[in-house]
Amino acid sequence: MPTAHCNHMNRRGFFRIAGVATAVGLLSTSSVGHLAFAAALSKAQRDKLTPDDIIAMMRKGNERFRRGEESPHNYLEQQEVSAKGQYPAAVILSCIDSRAPAETIMDLGIGDCFNARVAGNIANEDILGSMEFACKLAGAKVVLVMGHTACGAIKGAIDNAELGNLTGLLAKIKPAVQSTTYAGERSAKNYSFVDAVARKNVELTVADIRKNSPVLAELETKGAIKITGAMYSLETGALEFFG
Ligand SMILES: [Zn+2]
């Protein structure tokens, strides 16, 4: 039902928020031969955005998600448009938790962001390499480390859980357990403590990225990118940005 109204509604949420949805640059010819709004970021559109613009859009996207007013994504169109090239605005580092899918909870579509997922959203050399590719070579302008409440990896690190390769992964989270200042019960059964450690883990991961990736640190110093963190609440659906 490709009416003009539907095409209008298929605009990506990013641009509805950016207020540039009527720009001629957003028009493209779809594969079925009618004019449609582009379904994925073009290079020009992405390059116009500042890191703060992109963070504001992510914030707005989470607000739409929480209101149940997500953009009516046309995933097939996004897939078709982005197949010719990708110009994502951000690279996200988030946990594998099935309840914390970053794109969904920020109302993002295909081609909008890179997303590296690993239990406990920790950074290692491979993750840093992926982020350097995303920002230095592919032009992403935001590095967002997203932790979440009631994280099983954080609980495992607190409990000193041991299992195959998981043991080594949890060891990377333990500095956050140790450096979390907390007056109450420091156990995995205390969700308030678990969430405090998850928050500290995001802060330490952001610091690690700056320290261990001179490539990203230089881009941030120049103002080309912003590296920041956020905590997602499984209970409320709210994403709290640190900066
Ligand atoms: Zn998790």
Residue with tokens 């509604």: 9
Distance 96 CA to ligand 1 centre (A): 6
Q: Residue 232: beta bridge partners?
A: 148, 239
User: Hey, is 76 helix, strand or coil?
Assistant: helix
Amino acid 14: pLDDT: 54
How many Å lie between the centroid of ligand 1 and the Cα of residue 137?
29
Rounded to the nearest angstrom, the distance between the alpha carbon of 66 and the centre of ligand 1 is 20
Residue 41: predicted pLDDT: 79
Q: What is the C-alpha separation between 109 and 98, in angstroms, rounded? A: 18
Nearest to 160 by CA among 145, 178, 146: 178
Centre of ligand 1 to C-alpha 43, Å, is 33
Q: What is the pTM of this model?
A: 0.85
Q: In what order do the strands lie in the sheet containing 142-148?
A: 113-117, 90-94, 142-148, 226-232, 239-241
Residue pair 92/69 in contact (Cβ under 8 Å)? The answer is: no
Task: Give pLDDT, residue 36.
Answer: 30
Residue 223 C-alpha to ligand 1 middle, in angstroms?
Answer: 30
CA of 198 from ligand 1 middle (Å) equals: 9
- 53-86 burial, b for 16+ CB within 10 Å, e for fewer? bbbebbebbbbbbbeeebbebbeebbebbbeeeb
Gap from CA of 99 to ligand 1 centroid (Å):
9
CA–CA separation, 75 and 207 (whole Å)? 35
- pLDDT, tens digit only, all 243 positions of the chain: 333 344 333 444 554 444 433 333 333 333 332 223 346 778 888 999 999 999 999 999 999 999 999 988 889 999 998 999 999 999 999 999 999 999 999 999 999 999 999 999 999 999 999 999 999 999 999 999 999 999 999 999 999 999 999 999 999 999 999 999 999 999 999 999 999 999 999 999 999 999 999 999 999 999 999 999 999 999 999 999 998
What distance in Å separates the CA atoms of residue 129 and residue 87, rounded to the nearest whole number? 18
CA of 71 to the centre of ligand 1 (A): 26
b/e map of 167-191 (b: 16 or more CB within 10 Å)?
eebbebbeebbeebeeeeeeebeee
- In angstroms, what is the span from residue 145 Cα to ligand 1's centroid? 12
The dihedral through the CA atoms of 216, 222, 223, 229 has a sign that is: positive
C-alpha of residue 168 to centroid of ligand 1, in Å: 16
Cα of 184 vs centre of ligand 1, distance in Å, is 22
